[in-house]
Amino acid sequence: MSDIANCPTCAAKAVIKTINGETIYKAVQDEDALKKVGQLKKAMQKFKEKAEALEKELAQLKS
């Protein structure tokens, strides 16, 4: 995941990158934020499905 910080010139949220010792700030666009939220939702859904499968397996083992 990208590093996020406040831009020192405009105080907006920005993705930071360090290239050759120079820090570069790139403003976070709404599209970027929505893309990251979508990725997080997919990851959480996969985790939820794994947890439910493990709960079912545990219930079967207890029976």
Segment 4-51, tens digit of pLDDT = 888 888 888 888 888 898 988 888 777 777 788 889 999 999 999 999
Contact, 2 vs 15, CB < 8 A? yes
How many H-runs (helices) and E-runs (strands) does the chain carry? 1, 3
Query: How many beta carbons lie within 10 A of that of residue 51, not counting itself?
Result: 10
Residue 15 pLDDT:
85
* The model's pTM: 0.51
Residue 36 pLDDT:
84
Q: Which two tokens stand for residue 29?
A: 């666009």
Residue 1 pLDDT:
54
Residue 29 pLDDT:
78
